Amino acid sequence: MATKPEVQKRIQDEIEDVCGADRLPSYADQENMPYTHAVILEVSRLHSIAILGVPHFACQDAIIQGFRIPKGSLVISNLWGIMHDPDVWKDPYEFRPERFLDDEGAVNVPMEWIPFSIGRRVCLGEKLSKMELFIFTTHLLGRFSFQKPDDVQSYDFRGRSGAVLTPAPFKICAIPKGTGE
Ligand code: HEM
């Protein structure tokens, strides 16, 4: 948000349009806030927290798109690869929330959006996380504007890769809204 003031402003405008100045959004507001929803989807795609799914074993022989997967094979889904596949996502390394909005401005989530993994055994916390992402994003942006401090040249968006992808330490200014940001 600190590097994209225009995105930040559009989310803040959407919060105010839908909720007015006196309250912050609840999860039920998300359906009326397509741009904010699209930004969360795009952040989750571009810098997905999990790069690979958890390893699973095939419990029976299978053939998927001509590939033979014998029973007992270790199968790991390449979440990062699928969410950065240029055949699916135009300019996959660009931050472009509009890719999730159709011509009417409604949210459209392609099946290749899989930050919570793929198949029957996906993340158990998916629903909770979707709510939290929306609530945290809108409550922070409803109360603050974020800016890069003057002494910071740029941010390192590559993250730190461990069990999950976490942000590198960063400095940021959170300016309460209505205080002349
Ligand atoms: C944005 C936040 C989150 C993301 C992107 C995420 C993503 C994932 C992914 C990719 C997996 C691996 C699924 C697989 O391939 O087998 C997973 C598994 C899991 N996640 Fe999450 N997760 C998130 C938050 C949470 C939260 C908040 C909880 C708990 C409250 C949670 C609980 C679990 C559990 C229990 C599993 C293992 C499921 C199983 O194999 O039975 N996750 N998550």
Q: Are 3 and 148 in contact (CB under 8 A)?
A: yes
Domain count, the chain: 1
Name residue 75's beta-bridge partners.
56
Residue 95 lies in a domain: yes
Residue 155 lies in a domain: no
Counting atoms of ligand 1 from 1, which one is nearest the CA of 77? 15
pLDDT of the chain, 181 residues: tens digit per residue:
999 999 999 999 999 999 998 899 999 999 999 999 999 999 999 999 999 999 999 999 999 999 999 999 999 999 999 999 999 999 999 999 999 999 999 999 999 999 999 988 899 999 999 999 999 999 999 999 999 999 999 999 999 988 899 999 999 999 999 775 5
| Its pTM surpasses 0.85 | yes
Burial of 158 by CB count in 10 Å (0-12 exposed, 13-18 middle, 19+ buried)?
exposed
Q: What angle do CA 121, 56, 49 make, to 5 degrees?
A: 65
**Ligand 1 mutation target, pool 47, 123, 126, 165, most atoms within 8 A of CB:** 123
Ligand 1 contact, 47 CB (< 6 A): no
Instruction: Measure 73 CA to ligand 1 centroid, in angstroms.
Output: 22
* CA 86 remoteness from chain centre: 18
d(CA 127, CA 53) in angstroms, rounded, equals 17
Which CATH number characterizes residue 55's domain?
1.10.630.10
Q: Phi and psi of 26, rounded to 5°?
A: -110, 170
Ligand 1 contact, 165 CB (< 6 A): no
Residue 159 lies in a domain: no
d(CA 150, CA 173) in angstroms, rounded, equals 10
